[in-house]
Amino acid sequence: MKRFALFLLLLAPGVVHAADKRPMKIEDLFAFKRVADPQISPDGKMVVYSITTVDLPGNKTSTSLWLAPTEKGEPRQLTNAPGKKDKHPRWSPDGKQILFESNRSGDNQLWLIDLSGGEAKQLTTISTEASNGIWSRDGKQIAFVSAVYPEFSEKPFKESDEQNKKKKEEIEKSPVKAKVFKKLFYRHWADWVEDKRQHLFVIDAPSPARSAGKNETTPLLAQRAGEPRDVTPGDRDAFPTSDTFSTGDNFTFSPDGKYLIFTAVPEKDEAWSTNYDICRVPVTGGTTKWECLTKDNLAADSGPQFSPDGAKLAYRSQKRSGFEADRWDLQVVGCDASGSLTGRPKTQQLLVKKDLSADEFIWLKDKVILFASDYHGEKRIYSIFGPGDDGDVGDAVTHVGPGTCFSITANGIGNMAYARANMGQPTEVFTSGAGRETPISRANDSVLADLDLPRPESVYVPCAGGTPMQMWILKPPGFDPNKKWPLAFLVHGGPQGAWEDGWSYRWNPQLWAAQGYVVALPNPRGSTGFGQKYVDEISGDWGGKCYDDLMAGLAYLEKQPYIDSERMAAAGASFGGYMMNWFQGHTTKFKTLITHCGVYNFDSMYALTDEIWFDEWEHGGVPWDKDKRESYEKFSPHRYAKNFKTPTLVIHNDLDFRVPVAEGLQLFNTLQRLGVPSKMINFPDEGHWVLKPKNSEYWHKEVFGWLAKYCPPGGK
């Protein structure tokens, strides 16, 4: 095996790196601490966040909570449960406690830790587990999510919980492992959903005085807090089953604490409908009839959040039913303390004028909303002043550094924190104010100090119709412009996604560049952050303008004096994997292709995928409609198999329910029958992504080994 030979080339004489720094190695990817989910305290003085560490030899991860001051001082570890996962921290309104979820007791439950000292204490013991806990404004109630069997959900909690536990144990103990499906969804992403539904529960919160005693001997606060109440019983999900429609916590208490307002999954046809709605139910529970606040919009609505003064409700919305990649607008509407609407929603004109699509958002204070949006290969934070008013205005928060910003958190009185990353820096926590950005977490400073991580260059390439395509170019450490370098041409997934100046633990451009390649990251038609028209131009045309854009980007690169046109490779996953399969039948420019979980046959893709709405929109309808057959056939890679010649590494996994494994098997069988050099790697325990540490390590070694075989690294 020559998996590590490519590293030696980077150390050859004549290659000069940044002083005292070295190129990134595979093992470095697992040495980084993975920072996530910052939450600023009610007084703005502290931020709590999670850090995940990887135990590569043990093939596992641990997640703990950390606390850092927003002014002076060092971060400190707040929780420590080795081998377990403490995550999703949420401050109590008085700032004295932090609610979080953890599997430290064996399954996932809610826990509380008091900031004055003492150990964390378990709050819930529900048999179907608990997640995504949030507080009511007065701190007297806590709501959370649990996936239950809906047939028991209208019974009293004690009885329903016993029935859920009994059914769960019977399934686990039964020698018969048959799964029975009566409707869609029965699986999603990498999980078998079967007949469970995600419901919202409310529990009374224990008082801090009773939960923080140093001589506490009772391990479970749930004994004092009362029984949880299922406030969304019935055969329907009260929490997004698709992350496409998920933002923030997805549900919230009304200002008076008497209702929950939440993102509800479509009442029917959920596998082929995007009609998510904002619904409202009393916290007393017991009703299967949910009041719909957005019934006039047949497209998606999600992510309700009340203004700090409780006078307005904001949420995201789309206009086109069935289209998951439509622009997300922000709506703001007046409301009373119960969350009942008192007017008509107003679309915030900043997004319309700038053609921006709102990702997550947060109320900074009563008259200001912050939201994140893709913009030309970055994710920026924007502000809206006077949301809901006729004259709402806003602009980018210009003092935020370069890269991708997300996980925005604010305390309602003007203090904010957020996560930010770029291609040279993993995710860290920052605060912003008074015209400056302040790093808070600094969890990876020691690892970064050793690494040579070049900054990418952004270029715009002229494409068909006079439309430019933005593309990132990342040169390897020790790059010598007088030499010829091989090219790694990476195509992103989606297709409605983008290569951004960000950080990834899956497809990390720095790690690819460190092997000795110039890495190109093009954003062709369909990419987000370049206006909705640019996004729309991929639908029904996967192998058309998008392919032409990519070829224009490749032609631009071939003209660069430092690119060796005889050593060019391409790789991609999901839609990027599709494009590798399309390349296979339409170009011989590349010496090798690497296709991960890519679409190969549009007919089988439709028949096997979980979210059917996606394919129906992309092709304009169902495949048995004769008027839609052209779309399913014209751009399906399998129809061009007679042209396949390029050596290909195929990777596809058994638990990928989005682009099912049959797509990869069909491709590999075809390549083998044609005699095209090919290899397939199948992970039976992974889904659309390869997430387990040892599997990820193996994936990277195999990918870079294959790449080096057919497209040798290094400058010549």
- Residue 296's Cβ-side half-sphere holds a number of Cα atoms within 13 Å equal to 3
Same domain for 455 and 393, yes or no, is no
**What are the φ/ψ torsions at residue 561 (nearest 5 degrees)?**
-65, -20
Mean predicted confidence (pLDDT) in 265-284: 96
Residue-level pLDDT at 387: 86
CATH number of the domain to which 322 belongs:
2.120.10.30
Query: Which residue, 388, 412, 447, sits at the end of a domain?
Result: 447
CATH number of the domain to which 547 belongs:
3.40.50.1820
pLDDT band at 395 (very low <50, low <70, confident <90, very high): low
Same domain for 418 and 517, yes or no, is no
pLDDT in tens, 91-127: 999 999 999 999 999 999 999 999 988 899 999 999 9
pLDDT in tens, 644-659: 999 999 999 999 999 9
Q: Fill in the amino acid letter for 243.
A: D
- Per the annotation, the verdict on 700 as an active-site residue is no
Q: Is the peptide bond before 495 cis (omega within 30 degrees of 0)?
A: yes
Q: Return the number of other C-beta atoms located less than 10 Å from residue 673's C-beta.
A: 10
Residue-level pLDDT at 11: 33
Q: Is the per-residue pLDDT at 6 higher than 80?
A: no
Residue-level pLDDT at 398: 54
Q: Is the per-residue pLDDT at 663 higher than 60?
A: yes
Please spell the DSSP secondary structure of 180-222, one letter per residue: --SSS-SEETTEE-TT-EEEEEEEEPPPHHHH--TT----BTH
Q: Fill in the amino acid letter for 587.
A: T
d(CA 640, CA 578): 13
Burial 322-332 (b: 16+ CB within 10 A, else e): bbbbbbbbbbb
Catalytic residue (choose from 596, 652, 688, 700)? 688
Same domain for 428 and 524, yes or no, is no
Same domain for 602 and 673, yes or no, is yes
pLDDT in tens, 604-624: 999 999 999 999 999 999 999
- CA end-to-end span of the chain: 24
141 to 144, 148, 252: CA distances (angstroms): 10, 21, 11
Q: Which residue has the higher pLDDT, 182 or 253?
A: 253
* Residue 227, domain member (yes or no): yes
* Closest CA relative to residue 224, chosen from 107, 124, 139: 124
Give the number of domains in the chain. 2
Same domain for 428 and 280, yes or no, is yes
* Residue 18, domain member (yes or no): no
Same domain for 330 and 456, yes or no, is no
**In sequence order, what are the residues at sequence separation of 6 or more whose Cβ sits closer than 8 angstroms to the Cβ of residue 73?**
none
Same domain for 423 and 493, yes or no, is no
Residue-level pLDDT at 438: 92
Same domain for 396 and 507, yes or no, is no
Q: How many helices (H) and strands (E) does the chain have?
A: 16, 38
Mean predicted confidence (pLDDT) in 338-360: 94
Residue-level pLDDT at 286: 79
* Residue 703, domain member (yes or no): yes
* Residue 180, domain member (yes or no): no
d(CA 90, CA 554): 47
Q: Is the per-residue pLDDT at 697 higher than 70?
A: yes
Catalytic residue (choose from 64, 102, 574, 696)? 574
pLDDT band at 7 (very low <50, low <70, confident <90, very high): very low
CA angle 32–36–41, rounded 5-degree value: 130
List for the chain the helix, strand, coil content (%; round to 5).
20, 30, 45
- Per the annotation, the verdict on 688 as an active-site residue is yes
Q: Is the dihedral angle over the CA atoms 616, 620, 625, 629 positive or is it negative?
A: negative
- Cα dihedral 129, 240, 186, 627, rounded to 10, equals 180
pLDDT in tens, 26-67: 999 999 999 999 999 999 999 999 999 999 999 999 999 999
d(CA 669, CA 678): 10
490 to 56, 421, 679: CA distances (angstroms): 26, 20, 19
Residue-level pLDDT at 20: 86
**In sequence order, what are the residues at sequence separation of 6 or more whose Cβ sits closer than 8 angstroms to the Cβ of residue 652?**
596, 597, 659, 661, 663, 664, 665, 680, 682
pLDDT in tens, 173-208: 999 999 888 888 889 889 998 889 999 999 999 875
pLDDT in tens, 574-583: 999 999 999 9
Same domain for 262 and 222, yes or no, is yes
Same domain for 431 and 489, yes or no, is no
Q: Is the per-residue pLDDT at 213 higher than 90?
A: no
* Residue 112, domain member (yes or no): yes
Residue-level pLDDT at 19: 66
d(CA 379, CA 406): 8
Longest dimension (CA), the chain: 75
Q: Return the number of other C-beta atoms located less than 10 Å from residue 630's C-beta.
A: 12
pLDDT band at 79 (very low <50, low <70, confident <90, very high): very high
* Residue 300, domain member (yes or no): yes
pLDDT in tens, 485-538: 999 999 999 999 999 999 999 999 999 999 999 999 999 999 999 999 999 999
pLDDT in tens, 291-310: 999 999 999 999 999 999 99
Residue-level pLDDT at 15: 40
Mean predicted confidence (pLDDT) in 669-686: 98
Q: What percent of the chain has pLDDT over 90?
A: 86
* Residue 66, domain member (yes or no): yes
Secondary structure of 398-439 in the HEC alphabet? Answer: CCCCCCEEEEEEECCCCCEEEEEEECCEEEEEEEEECCEEEE
Residue-level pLDDT at 17: 52
Residue-level pLDDT at 432: 86
Residue-level pLDDT at 72: 87
Same domain for 394 and 521, yes or no, is no
- Indicate the pTM of the whole model: 0.93
Query: Which residue, 424, 447, 470, sits at the end of a domain?
Result: 447
Catalytic residue (choose from 114, 161, 656, 696)? 656
* Residue 631, domain member (yes or no): yes
Q: Is the per-residue pLDDT at 10 higher than 60?
A: no
Query: Which residue, 447, 469, 492, sits at the end of a domain?
Result: 447
Domain that holds residue 282: 26-168+185-447
Q: Is the per-residue pLDDT at 210 higher than 70?
A: no
Mean predicted confidence (pLDDT) in 263-271: 95
Residue-level pLDDT at 13: 33
pLDDT band at 433 (very low <50, low <70, confident <90, very high): confident
Q: Is the per-residue pLDDT at 368 higher than 90?
A: yes
Q: Is the per-residue pLDDT at 230 higher than 70?
A: yes
**Mean pLDDT of all residues belonging to the chain:** 92
pLDDT band at 388 (very low <50, low <70, confident <90, very high): confident
Q: Which residues face 458 on adjacent strands?
A: 472
Same domain for 466 and 427, yes or no, is no
Mean predicted confidence (pLDDT) in 690-697: 97
- Per the annotation, the verdict on 656 as an active-site residue is yes
d(CA 177, CA 155): 28
